[in-house]
Structure 1
Amino acid sequence: MNLEVKNDNFKLCLDALRENKVIAYPTEAVFGLGCNPESETAVMKLLALKHRLPEKGLILIADSFSQLEPYVALRELSVLQKERMFASWPGPVTWILPACPQTPRWLTGRFDSLAVRVTNHPLVKKLCSELGKPLVSTSANLSGREPCRNENEVYNQFGSKFPVLIGQTGGRINPSEIRDALTGNQIRPG
């Protein structure tokens, strides 16, 4: 019985993504807000929910690097830079890579780069796999509020009708570490 509810919940969230809606889902540390990165409409809905300026850019989270490859200019990284990045995945390390020229500005913001992560969270991996593409990933919280760590906190901030993929976070205390792939410099500790 419980498994059926979870499967229905998963399908509801997957359908919402396919309809270019925003959902919340558990990640390694907190719940994230996500949407179809190829839909400007969906991304603008997400940014409006967060009260986030489009020029700040966003993170894409994926099941595998092949889902991220169309968005980033991997050829601009040296062998060592690629090895360092791939050694951290799947896992809670987000890397900032040069973006491909065709990567939409609604993802990169004012930058010529894009933040990307290959997750090891099983629910997010399944969601990206079933969708066939990465998700936009930003912490699930209203401006000035703490990021949500469970579905009840998401409902409290976004309303009881908000589509939430029910599940546990990966148990990490801090959001993902962010590093610059070109320099190796840490932008945000994890």
Structure 2
Amino acid sequence: MSKKLSINAAIDYLSNQQVIAYPTESIFGLGCDPDSEKAVKQLLELKKRDINKGLILIADNYQQLLPYIDDDGLSTEQKNMMFESWPGHVTWILPKNSATPYFITGQFDTIAVRVTAHPVVKALCHQYGKPIVSTSANLSGYAPCQTSEQVQQQFGQSFPILQGKLGNKTNPSQIRDSRNGQIIRY
């Protein structure tokens, strides 16, 4: 039986450097505290994902992302383009802050971030007071999980899953590059 988590229980898992699954706008995501190298490495191991690929951070608001990005490296035009799409289903590639750890950004000098409109994830990040890692809940090479049952099939019957329904999007978030506005993933 899966562990159906409330937001407070999910925060306990995150605070204890553990990985959880949670609903997003389109699929279930896997998340953890982005400041915990232990938790991020556990997430990468669970997914069988290469650390060099980097990860997305999902937040309640832009201010939660400031410790991880180089805000001064963004023009007003770039910020306006980004803010027009948020909160929403668009992930932006931004310049990273020099203190942002390699285990989040991988081989890149940028970081992928999103301010979500999904009410459950928004509430989780708001109450946790910071963003969380957001990557699709699936083993590398498998389709992203769209039900809690699929999460259990891939990660085990007792895997902790934040209660909530998926949003109405059919694809993972669009990814855009803030440097040129280019769409990297539709």
TM-score, scaled relative to structure 1? 0.94
Deviations 1:126-164 (A, max 9, x none): 111111110000000012111011211111111111000
SS in 1 for 2:124: helix
Q: Which residue of 1 aligns with 2:180?
A: 183
Q: Which residue of 1 aligns with 2:117?
A: 120
User: Given that residues 12 and 163 in structure 1 are in contact (C-alpha distance below 8 angstroms), is that contact kept between their aligned partners in structure 2?
Assistant: no
Task: Return the letter of the residue paired with 1:27.
Answer: T
Q: Which residue of 2 aligns with 1:48?
A: 45
Q: Which residue of 2 aligns with 1:78?
A: 75
Task: Return the letter of the residue paired with 1:150.
Answer: T
SS in 1 for 2:127: helix
Aligned-partner Cα distance in 1 for 2:95–2:8? 34
Deviation of 1:13 (Å): 1.6
5+ residue gaps, structure 2, are none
Aligned-partner Cα distance in 2 for 1:143–1:85? 29
5+ residue gaps, structure 1, are none
Say whether residues 1:88 and 2:124 are aligned partners: no
SS in 2 for 1:103: coil
Paired residue for 2:25, among 2, 24, 28? 28
Q: Which residue of 1 aligns with 2:162?
A: 165
Paired residue for 2:99, among 98, 102, 112? 102
Task: Return the letter of the residue paired with 2:164.
Answer: G
SS in 1 for 2:79: helix
Aligned-partner Cα distance in 2 for 1:152–1:176? 22
Q: Which structure is higher in helix share?
A: 1
SS in 1 for 2:160: coil
TM-score, scaled relative to structure 2? 0.96
Deviation of 1:166 (Å): 1.6
Task: Return the letter of the residue paired with 1:53.
Answer: D
Identity %: 55
Task: Return the letter of the residue paired with 2:119.
Answer: P
Q: Which residue of 2 aligns with 1:144?
A: 141
SS in 1 for 2:21: strand
Aligned-partner Cα distance in 2 for 1:73–1:175? 25
SS in 2 for 1:41: helix
Q: Which residue of 2 aligns with 1:135?
A: 132
Q: Which residue of 2 aligns with 1:62?
A: 59
> Which aligned segments of 4 or more residues in structure 1 are displaced greater than 2 angstroms?
8-12
Task: Return the letter of the residue paired with 2:30.
Answer: L
Deviation of 1:9 (Å): 2.9
Aligned-partner Cα distance in 2 for 1:14–1:75? 31
